[in-house]
Homo-oligomer: A and B are copies of this chain.
Amino acid sequence: MPLRPEVTDLLDRIRLFLREEVHPLEPDFLRGDLAAVAPALAGKRQRAQALGLWTPHLPPAYGGLGLSLWEFGHVSELLGRSPLGHYLCNCQAPDIGNMELLLHFGSEEQKERWLLPLAAGEIRSCFSMTEPENPGSNPVMMSTTALPEGEDYVINGRKWFTTAADGAAFAIVMAITNPDADRYARASQIIVPTDTPGFRLAANTPVMGHVGSGFATHGEVEYVDCRVPQSYRIGAEGAGFALAQERLGPGRIHHCMRWIGICERAFEMMCARALRRELAPGKPLAIQGIVQAWIAESRAEINAARLLVLDAAAKIDAQGAYAARTDISLIKFYVAGVLQNVLDRAIQAHGGLGVTDYTPLAYWYRHERAARIYDGPDEVHKIAVARRILREGAW
């Protein structure tokens, strides 16, 4: 299936933007803290708007580029080549997921109030689902409640890994609204402006050595008698898990394609290193059979991973996320595994340089270890896939 010419052109423009304007920012980003590069990032976000690269995942009515998921997958891969790519084009998690959720399931009022400024990059948001004491994989084990009181919900509970809560204008909170309902119908998703009394950012969780700042944080949030109108609920009451699945389906395509972008960048760096690093005068690393094997294996794995993800994206475009749920689980753990393999080889090929922050490899190594955990650990996906296959097949 060939790409539409306008998408091919878009990809070319993204490549140029990355090469000319984004990659030069990376060294400061990798070595400094986010605050130091914040002004430069703000400027580049304006550039991305000017260049027509902004919110590529949204329809034109919201300032976006009207791409199919399969097309956006190609964009996400390219942007993934830089740790800054998605943010500069305003399609970074968790905002992208919140935008998609509001787009598809938000009321007109919610879209007006929250989606438009998000799409414009005027505010940020966060998604508050995971709880420290409960496994995300079991919908019955959620402790946060949003109990109806008059026209409001009163929310109590504790969440963590509420990524980018620090500085966000609102959170979308998953909470139990219907404790007596069927296990998958107990929770709802509710918009909570972060200035609501009772919303408290207890801490930015230190992750891989950093508490971070701004959007590069993982908030631990307390909800104490936090009261919002019921009209802040997204979709039907009890639809929380169904919406989460709808959110996560495309979200996993975004992540997987982003990981493939990381793989491609790491692969390029490994090849360049292999050619330039000399073991002895005139004898580059590239002549080593072990390194050649890494290159060949990485090439095969990345190619296979991309085809698998794009195939799942096309299936979602054609049949919806529910029909593609096995494919989505497969790519989630498969591509996360490829990512880890490729990064590991690229680091090893760089020797000591590979663990420094003079390349983005160590950044990805640290931050993408979580790829095998967030949005469902590998094992949860494997078990879910196997059960479905065993149940649905004619064995």
Q: Are B352 and A374 in contact (CB under 8 A)?
A: yes
Give the residue name and chain of the B residue nearest to A286 (CB): B390
The verdict on A57 contacting chain B, using a C-beta distance below 8 Å, is: no
- Chain A 152-170, CB-CB to B under 8 Å as 1, else 0, gives 0000000011000000000
Question: What are the residues of chain B within 8 A of A383 when measuring CB–CB?
Answer: 289-290, 292-293, 296
A362 touches B271 (CB 8 A): no
Q: Are A299 and B389 in contact (CB under 8 A)?
A: yes
Copies of this chain, how many?
4
What B residues does A202 contact at CB under 8 A?
none
Give Cα A102–Cα B65 distance, bound, in whole angstroms.
52
- Report the Cα distance A303→B286, complex, angstroms: 31
Q: In whole Å, how far is A160's beta carbon from the nearest beta carbon of chain B?
A: 7
Give min CB distance, A329 to chain B, whole Å.
8
Across the interface, A382 reaches (CB within 8 A) one of B135, B140, B293, B304, namely B293
Give every chain B residue within 8 A of A293 (Cβ-Cβ): 289-290, 379, 382-383, 386
CB distance from A301 to the nearest CB of B (A): 8
Kindly report which residue of chain B lies nearest to residue A355, judged by CB atoms.
Answer: B370
Cβ–Cβ < 8 Å partners of A136 in chain B: 351
Is A278 interfacial (CB 8 A cutoff)?
Answer: yes
**Minimal Cβ-Cβ distance residue in B for A295:** B386
Bitwise, A172-215 to B at CB < 8 A (1) or not (0) is 00000000000000000000000000000000011111100000
Q: Quick check: A395 and B355 within 8 Å, CB to CB?
A: no
Which residues of chain A (315-344) have a CB below 8 Å from chain B?
326-327, 329-331, 333-334
Contact yes or no, B333 A300, CB < 8 A:
yes
Binds B, one of A8-16, A246-254, A305-313: A305-313
Is A3 among interface residues, defined by CB-CB distance under 8 A?
A: no
| Residue A381 CB within 8 A of the other chain | yes
A304-B308, A330-B300, A395-B275 as given contacts; A355 in contact with B382, CB under 8 Å: no
CB-CB < 8 A to A382: which residues of B?
290, 292-293, 295-297
In A361-389, the 8 Å CB interface with B consists of 362-363, 365-366, 369-370, 372-374, 377-379, 381-383, 385-387, 389
Q: How many residues of A contact B (CB 8 A)?
A: 87
CB <8 Å contact, B386 and A373: no
Chain B residues within an 8 Å CB radius of A48: none
The yes or no answer to A357 lying at the interface (CB within 8 A) is yes
In angstroms, Cα B207 to Cα A366, docked, is 11
With CB as the reference atom, state the residue of chain B lying closest to A377: B351
Interchain CB contact under 8 A, B386 and A208: no
Which residues 267-293 in A have Cβ within 8 Å of B in the complex?
268, 271-272, 274-275, 277-281, 286, 288-293
Which chain B residue shows the least CB distance to A382? Answer: B296
Q: Which residues of B contact A277 (CB under 8 A)?
A: 135
Residues of B within 8 A of A286 (CB): 386, 390
A288–B390 Cα distance when bound, in Å, is 12
Can you offer 29 A-B residue contacts whose CB atoms are under 8 A?
A130-B352, A141-B281, A160-B352, A207-B356, A209-B209, A209-B363, A271-B389, A271-B390, A271-B395, A272-B395, A274-B390, A289-B292, A290-B290, A290-B379, A291-B386, A293-B382, A295-B389, A296-B389, A297-B382, A300-B334, A301-B334, A304-B304, A304-B305, A304-B307, A348-B379, A352-B370, A352-B373, A352-B374, A365-B366
Q: Give the 3 A-B CB pairs with smallest separation, nearest first.
A: A289-B289, A292-B386, A296-B382
Partner-B contacts on A (CB < 8 A):
1, 30-31, 130, 132, 135-138, 140-141, 160-161, 205-210, 268, 271-272, 274-275, 277-281, 286, 288-293, 295-297, 299-301, 303-305, 307-308, 311, 326-327, 329-331, 333-334, 347-348, 351-358, 362-363, 365-366, 369-370, 372-374, 377-379, 381-383, 385-387, 389-390, 393, 395
